[in-house]
Amino acid sequence: MKHACAILLVAASTLRADTTATTTRTVTRLADGIYEIRHPDAPDTFPQSNTTVIIGDKAVLVVDSGLLPSTAREDVAQIRQWTGKPVAYLLNTHWHFDHTLGNATYAEAFPAIQIVSTRPTQKVVAEYNPGVVARYSERAQRFQKILDTGKAPDGRPLTEGQRKDYERSLAGLAPVVAEFKTARQLPPNVVFDRELSIDLGNRPVEVRFLGRGNTAGDAVVYLPNEKILITGDLLVHPVPYLFGGFPVDHAKTLRAMAELDARTIVPGHGDVLRDKTYLFHVVALLEAVNAAVENEVNLSKTLDEVLDTLPKSFDVGTWRSKFAGSSKDEIEFFDTTFEALIKASYTQIKTR
Ligand SMILES: [Zn+2]
């Protein structure tokens, strides 16, 4: 279980877990009866997942429940304006609590709900997430210490951007901790291994596990009639989230996803995508880094050596501007995710 531990440690220590800042709530109608809700970050800047609502003739499926119970309550109220049909299914694409912590709110509103995930996702949500929620208030002390010492958790001096992030997170922590005092991490109660078909009434939905990537159990949702694909954090826009996953598998899983005939792609965070261009950019980045890391591993280099030499021999600047453009925040997030990718790729290639 070496991999799982690495994932948990990385996720627990990462300040901004998923993506660049999102400040407003937006709803995008993807097709008749299908909506994507994009959520503002929590007051402590912790991001919240995108949520997709799929309404059939008989029932409703929701994909990912967000981080804050107050956000999930807002979404439930919105869903009730759209339809009188019950949310019969909630899918957690993976275990990260910004995709799962709203589960209990949905179960209160719709007591017959089935909460669905892969087996690895269910295990981590049940066994790991409750502790993270319980210990969330400890962030105040940790962040204050980082600001006081001027050193990031990895021992390096804080950059100006990191300092501002920690200050913002600390300033907004109290309302999040207050919400989490009453929050309960409800785990999924229905698991699947490879495929699950859900009949919402005149609206077929296919839930699939196409391979590991962002976590050991990422599920995707495909709507064959509407050609809509919902990816969870296997795809995060505009900068990919590559902390602690399985980069070698991730590239293959994205290639398997690309085989699906999709015209609309809903990433785990960020804008709705209208073609596969971005998906293939992420595949190209993963494959290029994996190949470069493999070369270094074949030369018997240590991780520290690879972290030092790879960015010098690799055309990081081109990739950075492709994903992050000229935005300072996104450039900083790209550099963090890029370093995390090298680490995760090294770990996976070294241990296989
Ligand atoms: Zn996420």
For 123-139, write each residue's pLDDT tens digit: 999 999 999 999 999 99
What pLDDT, on a 0 to 100 scale, did the predictor assign at position 328? 87
Strands 195-199 and 204-209: antiparallel
Using alpha carbons, select from 60, 56, 63, 44 the residue that is nearest to residue 102: 63
Cα 19 to middle of ligand 1, angstroms: 8
Q: Report whether pLDDT(12) > 50.
A: no
Mean pLDDT across 154-172: 90
At 11, the pLDDT band (50, 70, 90 cuts) reads: very low
Of these ranges, 42-46, 162-166, 282-286, the one predicted with the greatest mean pLDDT is: 282-286
- pLDDT confidence bin for 20, thresholds 50/70/90: low
Q: Does 5 score more than 80 pLDDT?
A: no
Residues making up the chain, counted from first to last: 352
Report whether pLDDT(10) > 60. Answer: no
Q: What distance in angstroms lies between residue 16's CA and the mean position of ligand 1's atoms? A: 10
**Half-sphere exposure in the Cβ direction for 182 (13 Å, CA):** 7
Q: Are 32 and 228 in contact (CB under 8 A)?
A: no
Give phi and psi for 67, each to the nearest 5: -95, -50
What's the whole-number mean pLDDT along residues 168-180? 95
Q: What is the pLDDT of residues 294-322, one digit of tens each?
A: 999 999 999 999 999 999 889 999 999 99
CA of 309 to the centre of ligand 1 (A): 30
Q: Each residue of 269-280: pLDDT tens digit?
A: 999 999 999 999
- Give the mean model confidence (pLDDT) for residues 72-83: 98
Alpha carbons 123 and 110: distance in angstroms, whole number: 23
Ligand 1: distance of its center to the CA of 48 in Å? 7
Tens digits of per-residue pLDDT, 328-347? 889 989 999 999 999 999 99
Cα 295 to ligand 1 centroid, rounded to whole Å: 31
Read off the pLDDT band of 120 (50, 70, 90). Answer: very high
Q: Which neighbouring-strand residues pair with 162?
A: none
Answer whether 249's CB lies under 8 Å from 214's CB.
no
* Residues 123, 295: Cα–Cα separation, whole Å: 35
Which of 71, 66, 82 is closest to 32 using CA atoms? 82
**54 in Cβ contact with 74 (< 8 Å):** no
Strand ordering across the sheet containing 87-91: 26-31, 34-38, 51-55, 60-63, 87-91, 114-118, 190-192
In whole numbers, what is the pLDDT of the chain averaged over residues?
92
CA 219 – ligand 1 centroid, Å: 13
Q: 201 CA to middle of ligand 1, Å?
A: 29
pLDDT at 19: 52
CA distance 200 to 73: 22
232 CA distance to ligand 1 middle (Å):
7
Å from CA of 96 to ligand 1 middle: 6
How far does residue 18's CA lie from ligand 1's centre (Å)?
5
Q: How far is the CA of 268 from the centre of ligand 1 (A)?
A: 6
CA 252 – ligand 1 centroid, Å: 20
Distance 17 CA to ligand 1 centre (A): 7
Confidence of residue 352 (pLDDT cuts 50, 70, 90): confident
Q: What is the Å distance from ligand 1's center to 305 Cα?
A: 30
For residue 296, the CA-to-ligand 1 centroid distance in Å is: 30
pTM score > 0.75 for this model?
A: yes
Q: What is the pLDDT of residue 7?
A: 33
High-pLDDT (> 90) share of the chain, %: 86
Distance 22 CA to ligand 1 centre (A): 12
Q: Which residue type is seen at 298?
A: N
Helices (H), ranges, the chain: 2-13, 69-82, 103-109, 119-127, 129-134, 139-149, 160-171, 173-181, 247-258, 277-298, 303-313, 316-324, 328-351
Q: Examine the pLDDT at 1 and tell me if it is beyond 90.
A: no
User: How many A from CA of 337 to the centre of ligand 1?
Assistant: 13
Ligand 1 midpoint to CA 298 (Å): 33
How remote is the CA of residue 240 from the centroid of ligand 1, in Å?
Answer: 11
Question: What per-residue confidence (pLDDT) applies to 182?
Answer: 87
Q: What is the mean pLDDT of residues 84-111?
A: 98
- In this prediction, residue 159 carries a pLDDT of 87
| Residue-level pLDDT at 22 | 80
Percent of the chain's residues with pLDDT above 70: 94
Contact of 268 with 64, CB cutoff 8 Å:
yes
The answer to whether residues 117 and 191 touch, using CB atoms and an 8 Å cutoff, is yes
How far does residue 49's CA lie from ligand 1's centre (Å)? 5
What's the CA gap between 338 and 335, in Å, rounded? 5
24, with CB counted inside 10 A (0-12, 13-18, 19+), is exposed
Q: Are 7 and 216 in contact (CB under 8 A)?
A: yes
The closest of 269, 160, 262, 182 to 221, measured between CA atoms, is 262
Q: Which residues contact 247 (CB under 8 A, 6 or more apart)?
A: 286, 289, 290, 341, 344, 345, 348
Rounded alpha-carbon distances, angstroms, from residue 236 to 17, 96, 268, 293? 11, 13, 5, 23
**Band of residue 349 on the pLDDT scale cut at 50, 70, 90:** very high
Query: 301 CA distance to ligand 1 centroid (A)?
Result: 32
Q: For residue 98, report the distance from its CA to the centre of ligand 1, in Å.
A: 6
pLDDT at 121: 98
- Read off the pLDDT of residues 222-269 as tens digits, 9 standing for 90 and up: 999 999 999 999 999 999 999 999 999 999 999 999 999 999 999 999
| Amino acid 169: pLDDT | 94
CA of 300 to the centre of ligand 1 (A): 34
